[in-house]
Structure 1
Amino acid sequence: MESFVISERFAGQVARTPEAIAVSAGATALTYRELDERANRLAHRLIGLGVRQDDRVAVLLERSIDLVVAILATVKAGGVYVPVHEDYPPDRQQWVVDHAEVTVLLADVAMRRGGLPSGVPVLVVDDDPATAGQPATDPSVPIHPDQLAYVIHTSGSTGHPKGVAVTQRDVVRLIFNSQWTVERHARVLMVAPYAFNVSTYEIWMPLLHGGRIVVAPPGRLEPATLRELIRRERITGIHLTAGLFRVLAEESLDTFTGLSEILTGGDVIAPGAVRRVLDACPDIVIRAMYGVTECSLFSAHNPLDASFRPGSLVPLGDAFNDVTIHLLDNRLSPVPNGVEGEIYIAGRGVSRGYFGRTDLTAEVFVADPFGEPGTRMYRTGDLARRNDDGLLELVGRASSQVKILGFRVELAEVEAALASYPGLAQVVVVVRELESGEKRLVGYVVPEAGDVDLGALRAHVSKALPDYMIPAAFVQLASLPLTANGKLDRKAMPEPDFEAAAAYRAPETPLQEALCAIFGSVLEVPQVGIDDSFFDLGGQSLQAMRLLNKIKTDLDVDLLINVLFDKPTVAELAEHIDGAAAAAA
């Protein structure tokens, strides 16, 4: 009988391939036997600290082999891992730990240096001599398939993140779905933030099938580093957000050489980018993915190969074979092909709900009128239609939730962060789409009196929200525009000027002039001065990648992404480039 328990599946793989490499990071690698023994020791240590079945264990580590060990050990101890995003502001990290009522926080020395959430016992996994003395044998904790495996937090409409509770059974059924071509995922690059749901694929797909996790270095990755990792480590499978996939297809096509399968999704997939990659690498499969954290990551897919002919959009495909996707109208009646309806997901993967929030769970996890008694379906808020071939085509959102850089963002949570700034009478956040298709958040504020210090407002919001949720621009209004019937008129909101607070200063050297032109091209801004900051002009991580690629192409200058974060203005970048050239000479 097949097991639906993660640790039992992993134990079976250890028995089959004990000396195969399970996980590697740079020159360090662990075999399945070595990974099993390290995880067993840490699992015994967790049990000694009081972790019992279904207890939550927070995980706050850099991307590393220790991170994989920590997650596996938590599962072996019968616990539930709760990833805490390393880039979250401290207040948000603390909220996640408090909300999940964690028993232990697993951290590493690097995260300890930056400060850790309080009020919970901390075990620093790479600085704990007691762990090495624990037994290397499996703790043999009895685990039921319907126990929780993890709680991952997503943006919430209440002003706080929501913790999605996913079971062991749901993870195993996803990873062992017969529609995967497993050999294409023999070497998976672990590159996404582990506090988001795609880590389910990056960790468990290779580990439970005898493959290898290749852990990317911690921190932000430049396109050149990603390209080199894929080549050097012979990566076969990778997940890239739709935005990053498009940027790499346009700016760094050779990144994909050698891959067997690319999973992409999280937002609208550019058909031209798919065709461009398939023309360059005809043996690759690009699998368009659709899913939500509430339904255990992936629910629908569309494998695209060299026969793909681009249309106006890339279909999401159809449901995995143990998932049912309904397109329903506002009376929960199915809509015919070609007619827009809201996506409801039933079957495999529908999670337990939101941890500790039965009220929110009841709002969107509803009884399934088409299934067996007692079954539920999840209301996604996504709008779609089926084309003539019966394939799903995403057309928009029915709620205020949006995707920014591939991450889910509830506009209400951003608005709550703005509203907590003193002296504001009204706030609203809207999404602006550039000609390139990239989306940016814009915060509109109405002060109670006088003017708002928009720089101080940005600093205030950055203490509460991760960077991808911080509006790219803030606009002060005397009042919010309303429709004739008194509702907020989002379409009447003025277009923001993505410009820095500094007065315009023209370029003074050919290098500064070239950099100003590159900034303007990438950020779609008509005029850039040498004191304007990349980030004040609305720049985010995807645009940063495009900027660095364009600087390389136009100026033959290689820059690391951390240089841009440290020196975000044209003047500072030009000075850095000139200084590096002088030192090299």
Structure 2
Amino acid sequence: MAEPQDLVARFLATAATVPDRIAIHAPDASLTFAELSERTARLAGRLRALGVGRGDRVGVSARRGVHWAVAPLAVWRAGAVYVPLDPAYPADRLAFTAADARLRAVVTDTGALPWADGLPVLGPEGTDEAGQDRFDDLAVGALNAAYVIHTSGSTGRPKGVEVTRGAVSALVAGLEERGVYPAGHRVVGWNASLSFDASVQQWVRVCRGDTLVLLSDDDRTDPARLAALLDEHAVTDVDFTPSHWQLVGSRLGGRGLRLLLGGEPVPQRMWRSLAEGEDAWNLYGPTECTVDATVTPISGSVPHIGRPLAHIRAHVLDETLAPADTGELYLAGPAVAVGYAGRPGPTAERFVADPFAADGGRMYRTGDRVRRLPDGTLEFLGRTDRQIKVRGFRVELGEVEDRLREHPRVTAAVAALRTGPDGDTLLAAYCVVAPDTSVSDEELRAHCAATLPGHVVPSAFVTLPALPLTPGGKVDTAALPDVTAVATPEGRAPQGELEQLIAEVWAEVLGRGSVHADENFFALGGHSLVALRVVARLKRATGIVLPTKDVYRFPRLSDLARHAESVRAGGAS
């Protein structure tokens, strides 16, 4: 594969060639390529005026609007490195991430940022017109960093994965070479959060001349709204996790969409359904290897992760690092990340010398077990460690367990992936509490939600007298009890407008005949994706805007209704 062109250079060439083509449609505005070039130049000039330059890290905290595309591209044009900071995350986690990344500034469209700790904060609109006139794009080499995305950490602290500009350019070129990104102008539905590395694969497509259609939270979770938006903008390509596609996909068939699935394994039933005629692709790759490392069109009856992209070398090795048909997957090549920013120990553990490279390069230990099939494709078999994927997001179980043990009445805890009452995969927490004490599910959930993102908060909590142990003294995860359905309590019927409305929404999204006012959203099978649907429906029906984290803070129906009424009346949010 030829040396890929820098993506900022590709964007500038596109803006010069098709200035009037729409670059991004967002809920708040639309921008042509010429307008996007102007906006990013203005913001990059303001960053440069603050002294931000090559290699400096700039936080990006943005809602779902045009700033999602403007901010990262402006940071790149200033020669700097963007660090996503999802405003939906708890303030303590954002403060940790900002400090860990050693930010020079933050760009945002969310207003005040109490966790920014004195950092310069720039809004989306620039006033330094002279700075814009003087602005020249800073030449940045392929080995300079492009972004730092923080993932769940096994020690309880998120780790920042540092990826180079050249690695991102190689990703795009590799996906083009394999036909995942067809030649010509495409219209792409942008679905992922900036804090999820799949967003890189989506937003950089504007650099190659594609049009981005940003999906709001309402659009992402309501199949009817999503279908209407895709039709309105003639969207050709969409990117979903399999879990999210299960939520909305049944209503989106027959549109000729190119469906890109990634972030977690594709269930066999879904695979077989898509193989019958959809233009669907399965993409696999860890954050540490720049989003996607292997791809395959979905066909046949057996799920697999395909073959590596042209710039990737995939080794299947046994415990002695000898080639094997079945073993751990190691990935090498220019896509391998720099490492974990500021963490030399974990970097040395996961990024190791490549014994098959003549140039002394490194390879990344994925922790994924795979089998190389006779035709050369790779079949995913599971993990070698305790890392899991929940609806596309990486979750280190140790981070969840550390947070649970911080509760003053929890003496021991373990987290595990389980199958819920309705067959959904969910994260369950098993806790032992101090003698003669107790702790409710609601209290444990609120304790976790105070510092963990929503997708890391367990959906089910089980209190045990002791954790089961193997003869060797380790926790016997196989002996942990199943998560069973919670019987519907004999609670009171919902009363008042908001209780009745929320009960109707819960019954619909959770597949329940009826819901009482005293029931718990998560005990009924709710999780983060379904919570998005709840707040979106409530907003459309009443105009009340609640962040998704409020469903975690107030999981009991009556409490959520009371809180929503307070927000409507101008109370605490």
Task: Establish whether residue 119 from structure 1 lines up as the match of residue 118 from structure 2.
Answer: yes
Q: Distance in 2 between matches of 1:171 and 1:443?
A: 36
Q: Residue deviations 1:370-389, cap 9 Å, x none?
A: 11232111111111112332
- Offset of 1:394 from its aligned partner? 1.0
Closer, same or farther: CA 561–264 of 1 in aligned 2, 3 Å: farther
Q: Which residue in the other structure is 2:144 paired with?
A: 147
| Structure 2 counterpart of 1:301, from 295, 300, 304 | 295
Q: Distance in 1 between matches of 2:392 and 2:542?
A: 24
Task: Establish whether residue 269 from structure 1 lines up as the match of residue 256 from structure 2.
Answer: no
Q: Distance in 2 between matches of 1:374 and 1:285?
A: 39
Task: Establish whether residue 32 from structure 1 lines up as the match of residue 10 from structure 2.
Answer: no
- Offset of 1:12 from its aligned partner? 2.1
Q: Residue deviations 1:278-306, cap 9 Å, x none?
A: 65xx4x420111001100000000113xx
Q: Distance in 2 between matches of 1:343 and 1:182?
A: 28
Gap regions ≥5 residues in structure 2: 563-573
**Worse overlay, 7-16 or 516-525:** 516-525
| Structure 1 counterpart of 2:317, from 324, 328, 334 | 328
Alignment of 1:119-268 (within 5 A): 119-126=118-125, 128=126, 130-136=127-133, 138-177=135-174, 178-180=177-179, 181-183=181-183, 186-205=186-205, 207-217=206-216, 221-249=221-249, 253-268=250-265
**Worse overlay, 90-99 or 480-489:** 480-489
Q: Distance in 2 between matches of 1:257 and 1:43?
A: 42
Closer, same or farther: CA 396–561 of 1 in aligned 2, 3 Å: farther
Q: Normalising by structure 1, what TM-score? A: 0.85
Number of residue pairs aligned between Structure 1 and Structure 2:
548
The CA RMSD over aligned residues, in Å, is 3.5
Closer, same or farther: CA 256–119 of 1 in aligned 2, 3 Å: farther
SS at structure 2 position matched to 1:395: strand
Q: Which residue in the other structure is 2:304 paired with?
A: 315
Q: Which residue in the other structure is 1:410 paired with?
A: 396
Give yes or no for contact 2:460–2:522 (8 Å, CA) kept in 1: no
- Offset of 1:256 from its aligned partner? 3.7
Give yes or no for contact 2:421–2:484 (8 Å, CA) kept in 1: no
Task: Establish whether residue 453 from structure 1 lines up as the match of residue 439 from structure 2.
Answer: yes
Q: Which residue in the other structure is 1:554 paired with?
A: none
Q: Distance in 2 between matches of 1:548 and 1:107?
A: 23
Amino acid at match of 2:315: H
- Offset of 1:403 from its aligned partner? 0.6
SS at structure 2 position matched to 1:151: strand
- Offset of 1:267 from its aligned partner? 1.5
Give yes or no for contact 1:343–1:379 (8 Å, CA) kept in 2: yes
Give yes or no for contact 1:188–1:238 (8 Å, CA) kept in 2: yes
| Structure 2 counterpart of 1:290, from 281, 284, 294 | 284
- Offset of 1:19 from its aligned partner? 2.3
- Offset of 1:20 from its aligned partner? 1.8
Closer, same or farther: CA 532–48 of 1 in aligned 2, 3 Å: same
Q: Distance in 2 between matches of 1:520 and 1:61?
A: 32
Q: Which residue in the other structure is 1:583 paired with?
A: none
Q: Distance in 2 between matches of 1:329 and 1:522?
A: 45
Closer, same or farther: CA 537–82 of 1 in aligned 2, 3 Å: same
Q: Distance in 1 between matches of 2:85 and 2:186?
A: 27
Closer, same or farther: CA 33–351 of 1 in aligned 2, 3 Å: same
- Offset of 1:3 from its aligned partner? 5.9
**Worse overlay, 563-572 or 459-468:** 563-572
Q: Distance in 1 between matches of 2:376 and 2:100?
A: 41
- Offset of 1:118 from its aligned partner? 1.9
Q: Residue deviations 1:27-83, cap 9 Å, x none?
A: 832222221111111111101111021000000011211221111110011100001
| Structure 2 counterpart of 1:365, from 340, 351, 361 | 351
Closer, same or farther: CA 440–561 of 1 in aligned 2, 3 Å: farther
Q: Residue deviations 1:120-171, cap 9 Å, x none?
A: 1111224x5x344532464232211110010011111110111000000000
Closer, same or farther: CA 474–260 of 1 in aligned 2, 3 Å: closer
Q: Distance in 1 between matches of 2:508 and 2:35?
A: 50
SS at structure 2 position matched to 1:414: helix
Q: Which residue in the other structure is 2:469 paired with?
A: 482
Give yes or no for contact 1:326–1:334 (8 Å, CA) kept in 2: yes
**Worse overlay, 88-97 or 59-68:** 59-68
Q: Residue deviations 1:82-133, cap 9 Å, x none?
A: 010121100000111000000001111xx2257443231111224x5x3445
SS at structure 1 position matched to 2:403: helix
Q: Which residue in the other structure is 1:581 paired with?
A: none
Q: Which residue in the other structure is 1:346 paired with?
A: 332
Give yes or no for contact 1:166–1:351 (8 Å, CA) kept in 2: yes
Q: Distance in 1 between matches of 2:184 and 2:230?
A: 14
Q: Which residue in the other structure is 1:12 paired with?
A: 13
Q: Distance in 2 between matches of 1:370 and 1:388?
A: 22
Gap regions ≥5 residues in structure 1: 552-556, 576-585
- Offset of 1:543 from its aligned partner? 4.5
**Worse overlay, 475-484 or 287-296:** 475-484
Closer, same or farther: CA 470–43 of 1 in aligned 2, 3 Å: same
Q: Distance in 2 between matches of 1:92 and 1:200?
A: 21
Q: Residue deviations 1:495-527, cap 9 Å, x none?
A: 345549x95337699xx99x9999799769999
**Worse overlay, 489-498 or 516-525:** 516-525
Alignment identity in percent?
Answer: 34
SS at structure 2 position matched to 1:471: coil
| Structure 1 counterpart of 2:366, from 368, 380, 385 | 380
Give yes or no for contact 1:504–1:530 (8 Å, CA) kept in 2: no
Q: Which residue in the other structure is 2:453 paired with?
A: 466
Alignment of 1:566-577 (within 5 A): none
